[in-house]
Amino acid sequence: MTANLQAGEGWHGQLKLVYADRLNSTQLIYNHHQAPLKVQRPFYPEGEKVCHSVILHTAGGIVGGDLLSCDIHLQANAQAVMTTAAASKIYRSNGLIAKQTINIQVETGACLEWLPQETIVFDGGIYRQDLRVELADGANFVGWEITRFGRSARGEKFYQGEWRSHTEVWQNGIPLWIDRQWLPGSAAVFHSPHGLSGKPIVGSLVWLGSPVSLEIIATARSLFTQHSQLTTQHSQLTTHHSLTGVTRLENGFLCRYCGTSTTEVRNWLTAVWQMLRMNFFHRGICIPRVWQI
């Protein structure tokens, strides 16, 4: 399937947000949106220091020809947690590519926790996401991406289409992490050990801005064992075939997952995220309320 991008096709949605620290309270001081993107009114479940925001896609799903862009700026010392209201759905394409571009700037003393809910790429979907983060000295970023290829609950597999994910995190002109992934839809790639190995779900979490100890790396690895066991006790899911990895980076670390259970990967990455909050910010558990709906 050949991907094309034609001007004038689909939605051209935009979201521009600026967060600022005002007397130890993080406030959304600028909010510009263009349908189908918008952001809910900020709320503060853990006090005024940390602003929680939920991004909405009011059209319900993304189709070929859609162009979405998000620009997010955290001024000095601002603290924000951002997620999405629901899973993103990339529908089967008629040959046009659906594209989302996200640019994030985090200034000194600020931290963004970027935790969108999963993306479901339907068989035949053509999608590309570009995420670029610019960190100032003393800024931190934690973000994850969870992607399901095909509506596997219906037995659908990602045998047609194309998915690309390009992520770059920079600090003072130096790349901290650059990740480029490409998955062409085909039965061979879906089942190949060099592709998905028959596992429809991939996930990654990256923490950047502050170095981590070997103890944190070991803890992140051990949390998968704990939470995969928890998942197994309450369902019939088989977890022992999941593939995971934790890699120490020069100024952070990276977690990877490839498996069959959204619950499993979310449990693990959520536990790692909460561990980071405790270690670096002395914050307790605070799960976004939209995850519980």
Does residue 235 carry a pLDDT above 50?
A: no
- The answer to whether residue 189 is domain-embedded is yes
- The answer to whether residue 4 is domain-embedded is no
- The answer to whether residue 2 is domain-embedded is no
β-pairing, 201-208 vs 252-259, is antiparallel
pLDDT range class, residue 227, cuts 50, 70, 90? low
H/E element, 226: helix 214-233
Cα–Cα nearest to 208, from 258, 172, 232: 172
- The answer to whether residue 7 is domain-embedded is no
What pLDDT, in 10s, does the model give residues 102-160? 999 999 999 999 999 999 999 999 999 999 999 999 999 999 999 999 998 888 999 99
Where does 160-213 have alpha helices with state H? 187-191
**0.85 cut: is pTM over it?**
yes
Number of domains in the chain: 1
Which amino acid, one-letter code, is at 232? Answer: T
Name the token pair of 216. 């944190």
In which domain, by residue range, is 249 found?
A: 12-292
- Residue 15 CA to residue 55 CA, distance in Å, equals 9
- Residue 242 CA to residue 254 CA, distance in Å, equals 17
Cα–Cα nearest to 239, from 260, 253, 220, 255: 260
